[in-house]
Structure 1
Amino acid sequence: MANPARPPKRRSLWWIVHSWAGLKLSIFLTFILATGTLAVFAHEIDWLVTPAMRVAPQDAPRASWGTIAEAATRAAPDLRLTTIFAPIDPWFAVEAWVEPEKGAPGRVYVDPWTGEVTGQHGWANVHRFLRQVHRHLMLPTRIGIPIVCALALLLAASLITGVVTYKKWWRGFFRRPRGGDGRRLAGDLHRLGGLWSLWFVALISLTGIWYLVETLGGNAPVERVPEIGKRTMPTGPALDRLVEIAQRARPGLEIREIRFMEKEGVIFLGQDSAWLVRDRANAIAVDPADGRVTATLDGGDLTLHQRISEMADPLHFGTFGGLGTKIVWFVFGALMTALAVTGTMIYAMRLARTETGGGMRIAWCGMGVWGWVGVAAVVTALAMTPYAIGGAS
């Protein structure tokens, strides 16, 4: 007597949610994950394609901040010096931002050892493109940021449903992927990559949700520097004197950025004893007219709300540990991007056994109208790039 046909396996609600979250917006999600992964090394990519950013490290004292500021103003005499950034690594030049009365700012690069200008560059670069397209799709920030950050909810749903549907998942960290069948291999690789990136997906989801909370009005208050009136911005020895004043007031401050504010004076920002905070959390403002310290900000004095806000960027992009953590963040970012792709592949290969058509066609049909939404978002961001990347928003 013939055995009755086995009824089709019922999928749990958790699996349906996981499949929906990974498929419907897979095009949009892959684009955001890929651009975010590349953004980890955006400065390094600019370094590769911009010769003026490259310098040879030297075993010698570095040029003073005043010397660097003076060189930048000489290179762009008709523009206003607004900010100077210390090199992120020894082989990077100092970057100075100069601004016209109207239009986009420019960049002047200065050798940190010799104090000589190595070249100039416009506002648009790889870092600017990746930052704006990943953060808000080249759209106005009030529109683009909530759209992108909403994907953090999708990532969180994928994380939770993936763990629930993978029975005894803690045993799978060292399970070798099975071969011989494309669908089985893709599924095993998807589960293995998902397990090893659990912590990273959780981290990106949480920081992304925090950015969404900030855009909806939950942002932490930022300490303001008092206005002192319009001042002439110093360079050369005059700026060096202000640096000495700032260092005496905050001996532990490692200056990584100097802002020349028309109404607030000169502000020195950087890192001190507080860990996992942005440079702006540690700052000291000095009146260039008389050398008076007008404000001091210490990352150790932040409230819990402020501390969470300041931690978000270093954790989201992995910049807190230098090149080492950036490599780790890049690897796991690439793994997350691969998970978005393999999830779509698994869906297509599963249905290919029962439906006619190629895998790409099946996956596209499965996305439905959401596929068009993803394509529209990507195309819009790329189309707006020439208009948006030159701005200063």
Structure 2
Amino acid sequence: MVATARPAKRRSLWWVVHSWAGFKLSIFLTFILATGTLAVFAHEIDWLITPAMRVAPRDAPHASWGSIADAAQRAAPDGALTTIFAPIDPWFAVEAWVSPEKGAPRRIYVDPWTGEVTGQHGWANVHRFLRQVHRHLMLPTKIGIPIVCSLALLLAASLVTGVVTYKKWWRGFFRWPHTGNTRRLTGDLHRLAGLWCLWFVALISLTGIWYLVETLGGNAPVEQPPEIGVRSPPTGRALDRLVAIAQREKPGLDIREIRFLEDQGVAFLGQDSAWLVRDRVNGVVIDPANGRTTMIMDGADLSIHQRISEMADPLHFGTFGGLPTKILWFIFGALMTALSVTGTMIYALRLSRSETGGGVRIAWRGMGIWRWIGLAAIIIALALTPFAIGGAG
């Protein structure tokens, strides 16, 4: 008897979409995922390479905001104090931004306990690089953000098609990868990592799509304090008096940031009772000339539209829970990046049976014109970096 050859199994449309979404733009996608993952710990990377940011925690009262502002202003007398940030963690210094009449702002670091300046740094740093290259590729935001955020649509497509094509996927969470066969091992690792990343891919996709919606005109309205005329940034005891007024107006406010608004007074921003919101929605704005409160902001009063907008950043970067959530976000960000790499490997290994050449060469050819689009986006972003973030100083 002559055996009848079975026709080749046709791939479903779901599988085709999953492969295209994860493979054709894999170079660009991997770059965005990798920079976003590193951006979770961008401040910590800067802390490691910038000695002025490092302080020794101590069991003592903090220096007043006024004395810190005074020290920062004295360290850069030729510039205007614009913002002061509280330490991210006890081992971080306070960071103050001072803008000169010409050129990029400078960062002044102050010990939060002694009120002494520990050093200065230029505007460019790791955090600024990773934030801007991940967010908009150093391009104008109206161009760069839609390009980057369009990848969120691909991630969402990969999530849905991956679940549909993986039959009985809920059984695979604890299925150990098979060894001995490179192609099977890679596929098993890809599916295992994909399952454990389901919630994270969904979260990053949703927040990325929201950023796209905001850029296209769906951003939530942000209330602005009234104009009061130009005021010089108060420091020393003058600022401490304003801090006391802000704490009296809003007793639960944990001040994390002080903004010296050019024509709207001094804004004391931070965290209060509302959870999962940016610092900017909780605060008090005061006219430094007369100590009059011109605006009080409370995250608990936000509309649904505003609340969604303010939740996006804490959820996207995992900053809402401090170091523990940032570690978790970093781990799953690394897994997402690995998914992009292993997806490309699976494609190359599958084609290597029918095409000549190494796996990398096969994958490169298979990407077609999209490989050049991805590389061009990365090269342009890196080339624009010196102009977009200024000198390191």
Q: Which residue of structure 1 lines up, in the alignment, with residue 343 of structure 2? A: 343
Shift of 1:6: 2.5
Q: Which residue of structure 2 lines up, in the alignment, with residue 140 of structure 1? A: 140
Question: Is structure 2 residue 365 aligned with structure 1 residue 360?
Answer: no
Q: Which residue of structure 2 lines up, in the alignment, with residue 254 of structure 1? A: 254
Secondary structure, aligned partner of 1:224? coil
Q: Which residue of structure 2 lines up, in the alignment, with residue 196 of structure 1? A: 196
Q: Which residue of structure 2 lines up, in the alignment, with residue 49 of structure 1? A: 49
Instruction: Give per-residue Cα distances to partners, 1:279-334, cap 9 Å, x unaligned.
Output: 00101001111111010011000000000000000000000000000000000000
**Counterpart contact for 2:80–2:233, Cα < 8 Å:** no
Shift of 1:9: 1.3
Q: Which residue of structure 2 lines up, in the alignment, with residue 19 of structure 1? A: 19
Q: Which residue of structure 1 lines up, in the alignment, with residue 307 of structure 2? A: 307
Shift of 1:49: 0.2
Structure 1 unmatched ranges of 5 or more: none
Alignment of 1:82-101 (within 5 A): 82-101=82-101
Q: Which residue of structure 2 lines up, in the alignment, with residue 80 of structure 1? A: 80
**Counterpart contact for 2:82–2:98, Cα < 8 Å:** yes
Matched residues in 1 for 2:140 and 2:263: separation? 27
Secondary structure, aligned partner of 1:119? strand
Matched residues in 1 for 2:387 and 2:104: separation? 11
Alignment of 1:373-388 (within 5 A): 373-388=373-388
**Counterpart contact for 2:96–2:109, Cα < 8 Å:** yes
Shift of 1:206: 0.1
Instruction: Give per-residue Cα distances to partners, 1:157-199, cap 9 Å, x unaligned.
Output: 0000000000000000000111110000000000000000000
Q: Which residue of structure 1 lines up, in the alignment, with residue 265 of structure 2? A: 265
Q: Which residue of structure 2 lines up, in the alignment, with residue 325 of structure 1? A: 325
Question: Is structure 2 residue 206 aligned with structure 1 residue 206?
Answer: yes
Matched residues in 1 for 2:72 and 2:87: separation? 15
Q: Which residue of structure 1 lines up, in the alignment, with residue 233 of structure 2? A: 233
Matched residues in 2 for 1:220 and 1:192: separation? 38
Runs of 4+ in 1 over 3 A off after TM superposition: none
Greater shift in the superposed pair: 60-69 or 4-13: 4-13
Shift of 1:48: 0.2
Instruction: Give per-residue Cα distances to partners, 1:44-78, cap 9 Å, x unaligned.
Output: 00000000000000000000000000000000001
Q: Which residue of structure 2 lines up, in the alignment, with residue 170 of structure 1? A: 170
Matched residues in 2 for 1:242 and 1:117: separation? 22
**Counterpart contact for 2:345–2:359, Cα < 8 Å:** yes
Aligned residues: 391
Q: Which residue of structure 1 lines up, in the alignment, with residue 242 of structure 2? A: 242
**Counterpart contact for 2:76–2:98, Cα < 8 Å:** yes
Secondary structure, aligned partner of 1:115? coil
Shift of 1:151: 0.3
**Counterpart contact for 2:87–2:94, Cα < 8 Å:** yes
Shift of 1:216: 0.3
Question: Is structure 2 residue 304 aligned with structure 1 residue 297?
Answer: no
Alignment of 1:108-187 (within 5 A): 108-187=108-187
Identity among equivalent pairs (%): 81
TM-score, normalization: structure 1? 0.99
Matched residues in 2 for 1:348 and 1:30: separation? 16
Matched residues in 2 for 1:355 and 1:344: separation? 16
Matched residues in 2 for 1:344 and 1:332: separation? 19
Letter in 2 for 1:266: V
Shift of 1:4: 2.0
Structure 2 unmatched ranges of 5 or more: none
Secondary structure, aligned partner of 1:150? helix
Secondary structure, aligned partner of 1:243? helix
Matched residues in 1 for 2:3 and 2:114: separation? 85
Matched residues in 2 for 1:229 and 1:388: separation? 30
Q: Which residue of structure 2 lines up, in the alignment, with residue 66 of structure 1? A: 66
TM-score, normalization: structure 2? 0.99
Matched residues in 2 for 1:175 and 1:342: separation? 17
Secondary structure, aligned partner of 2:227? coil
Matched residues in 1 for 2:124 and 2:72: separation? 19
Letter in 2 for 1:129: F
**Counterpart contact for 2:276–2:311, Cα < 8 Å:** yes
Matched residues in 1 for 2:131 and 2:251: separation? 33
Instruction: Give per-residue Cα distances to partners, 1:243-297, cap 9 Å, x unaligned.
Output: 0000000000000000011211110000000000000010100111111101001
Q: Which residue of structure 1 lines up, in the alignment, with residue 222 of structure 2? A: 222
Matched residues in 2 for 1:124 and 1:196: separation? 36
Shift of 1:100: 1.0
Matched residues in 2 for 1:242 and 1:154: separation? 48
